[in-house]
Homo-oligomer: A and B are copies of this chain.
């Protein structure tokens, strides 16, 4: 007979109502505390241990008797995937059992990793000093923490507070530890608020994700316009600003820091927290953003042979990084892979977990610059290509950023044209996703041929009237109107726009072709094609295929993966194992420099054509 019960999860203090008997892992999920279940609930991996603090639960299963020691069982340790609650109970979920997922960033590719951050708040009860035990305060603490944090060392301010904190708490304290550094000491047994922030520095937009590092819970997200934008929209103009202005580097660095600190401030306000609650910040960005953030001169990134100042992961003190946070916290910049393959791509590779697939996977992140990663099933190859800003609407006659009035979707339906604008207001331009659709439509309708030329002279008779009347102008001034023909301001695609898009998509496709060629793969070998970034979120994969920007793979293999770069920063914040994976993959990736490949130009000539 089912019986109504209440189960409380600690230390969160979340109550869940259910009917007994009920599985702990299911109840935890209902409580908003998804658990790490690597063996999918078979009870074989022993990773989902929780502690039953009080209440009624069923006897241990065979799997539990196998996985847990008698000592653990005696302490109430159980496997969440095996244990049925039979009455009211209080259950503690330790951090290592919790999941930090990228789900909220990305509906498709859920990844769960065990929470294992670089920051810990460790409650510890110390033996009191006596004449027979004259260990120093720090030795006493360090020896108690040795099993959890071997070789701990102390920041001077933590050491300075140590004697008073120990004695105020009667030798019960919470040790705040970042890496192997004791940074804080709180008397008593209560863990202080402990937040982490993942920062994705885009050339245009900066996004900050706030995480509770004790529970793995995402507390908030804030996006802000990168203030550097006032000195150029793309990375090359930012580099030029540094080169041409005394103090330009410092100015751009100050602007990105202003943006980040402002965004963090806003995010903290959302969750009622203070800067000193933030113990760690992880950072991704393209190579130039990464350099400007760290105050490193980016000029050589743009000059052959395109050498960055540093490609390794970098740890900075908050004061050196210029981030307003806990003064003894840590700022971790993910590694980069090359001058134009940045930490953002490392984040994408990490977040999509593509290196664990047994089939080849291609990840494509397109902005002004295209960053590409190919997992062949055995090795990781990365490259970049200058896509130009056309996909972002720059250098396109009616191109614009994704803002109200931008045409974001276009379809040819029953011989007519249907458009959708952002906020459904009158069209005033076309943004990136609209440009892809526009290009697909003019190709499908025969308005533009495979070479990229608008139909010449008289229009073919078989072309529907609805289409014919949208084609205006002659020769190189020919254009196709997408907006309402009765509107005040026609929004068109012109011959020059097509050329720009052709160059951009050709460069991306040529890079993909060469990656495939160098790894002896055919397009059809690609089990997945992952589209990252804003680009991946909004463009219609059918249009990308129709334009020939992507190789010819079945549509269902193409997946948008959202802001995977930011998700990567979040994973590196939540799990030291993920951080190690990021460093390893960045070090092991093979970077293909296309500018020295004689076959790139050849490939480009072909890939500029439309299919």
User: A302-316 interface mask toward B, CB cutoff 8 Å, 1 = contact, 0 = none?
Assistant: 001111111110111
Q: Is A449 an interface residue (CB 8 A)?
A: no
Partner of A134, one of B154, B162, B164, B305: B305
Q: A596 touching B131 by the CB < 8 A rule?
A: yes
A304 to chain B, nearest CB (A): 7
Bound complex: CA of A309 vs CA of B141, how far in Å?
Answer: 10
The answer to whether B311 and A138 have CB atoms under 8 Å apart is yes
CA distance A502 to B133 in the complex (A): 31
A446 at the interface (CB under 8 A from B): no
CB distance from A549 to the nearest CB of B (A): 26
A555 vs B129: C-alpha distance when bound (angstroms): 42
Residues of B within 8 A of A305 (CB): 129-131, 133-134
- Given A131-B595, A156-B320, A138 and B309 contact (CB-CB distance below 8 Å): yes
Of A72-80, A115-123, A289-297, A528-536, which binds chain B? A289-297
CB-contact partner of A311 in B130, B139, B320, B336, under 8 A: B139
- Name the residue among A138, A160, A294, A310 with the largest chain B CB count within 10 angstroms: A310
Number of copies: 2
Q: Is the CB of B162 within 8 A of A309?
A: yes
Question: Which residues on the B side are within 8 Å of A138 (C-beta)?
Answer: 309-312
User: Which of under 10, 10 to 19, 20 to 34, or 35 or more describes the interface residues of A?
Assistant: 35 or more
A132 CB within 8 Å of chain B: yes
A566 at the interface (CB under 8 A from B): no
Given contacts A139-B311, A296-B159, A300-B163, contact A134 B306 (CB under 8 A): yes
Is chain A's binding surface mostly helix, strand, loop or mixed?
mixed
Report if A557 contacts B (CB, 8 A).
no
Minimal beta-carbon separation of A183 from chain B (angstroms): 13
Is A360 located at the chain interface by the 8 A CB criterion? Answer: no
For residue A593, CB closer than 8 A to chain B, the reply is yes
- Flag if A163 contacts B296 (CB, 8 Å): yes
Contact A294 B156 (CB under 8 A): yes
Q: Are B134 and A339 in contact (CB under 8 A)?
A: yes
Q: Which residues of B contact A154 (CB under 8 A)?
A: 310, 314
The residues in A between 120 and 169 inclusive whose CB is less than 8 angstroms from any CB of B are 129-139, 142, 153-154, 156, 159-160, 162-164
Q: Is the CB of A131 within 8 A of B304?
A: yes
Give chain A interface residues in 147-202, CB to chain B under 8 Å: 153-154, 156, 159-160, 162-164
Does A129 lie within 8 Å of B310, measured CB to CB? no
Q: Mark A93-135, 1 if CB is under 8 A from B, else 0.
A: 0000000000000000000000000000000000001111111
Question: A124 → chain B, closest Cβ, in Å?
Answer: 16
- A306: chain B residues at CB < 8 Å are 131, 134
| Contact yes or no, A137 B295, CB < 8 A | no
Q: Which residues of B contact A160 (CB under 8 A)?
A: 294-297
A591 at the interface (CB under 8 A from B): yes
Given contacts A156-B320, A595-B131, contact A137 B294 (CB under 8 A): no
A338 at interface by CB-CB < 8 Å: yes
CA distance A135 to B130 in the complex (A): 57
A513 to chain B, nearest CB (A): 20
List, in ascending order, chain B residues with CB within 8 A of A596's CB: 131-132
**Contact partner of A310 among B159, B164, B314, B321, CB < 8 A?**
B159
User: Nearest Cβ distance between residue A131 and chain B, in whole angstroms?
Assistant: 4
Min distance, Cβ A127 to any Cβ of chain B, angstroms:
12
- Across the interface, which residues of B come within 8 angstroms of A156, CB to CB? 294-295, 314, 316, 320-321
Inter-subunit contact B131/A297 (CB<8 Å): no
Q: Tell me which residues across on chain B come within 8 A of A133, comparing CB atoms.
A: 305
Which residues on the B side are within 8 Å of A308 (C-beta)?
136-137
Chain B residues with CB below 8 A from A316, complex form: 156
Contact across chains for A309 and B339 when beta carbons are under 8 A apart: no
Known A156-B295, A156-B316, A316-B156; judge A131-B593 contact (CB<8 A).
yes
Task: Give Cα distance in the complex from A305 to B159, angstroms.
Answer: 19
Name the residue of chain B whose CB is nearest to the CB of A316.
B156
Please report A residues at the B interface, Cβ cutoff 8 Å.
129-139, 142, 153-154, 156, 159-160, 162-164, 294-297, 299-300, 304-312, 314-316, 320-321, 336, 338-339, 591, 593, 595-596
Listed A/B pairs (29) with beta-carbon separation below 8 Å: A130-B305, A131-B304, A132-B596, A134-B305, A134-B307, A134-B338, A134-B591, A134-B593, A135-B311, A136-B307, A136-B336, A137-B309, A138-B310, A139-B311, A139-B312, A154-B310, A156-B294, A156-B295, A156-B316, A156-B321, A159-B310, A159-B314, A160-B294, A160-B295, A160-B297, A162-B296, A162-B310, A163-B300, A163-B309
User: Nearest 6 A-B pairs (CB), nearest first?
Assistant: A138-B310, A136-B311, A131-B596, A136-B308, A129-B307, A131-B305
11 new A-B contacts at CB < 8 Å, known A156-B321, A163-B299: A130-B305, A131-B596, A132-B596, A134-B338, A136-B307, A139-B311, A153-B315, A159-B294, A159-B309, A160-B295, A163-B297
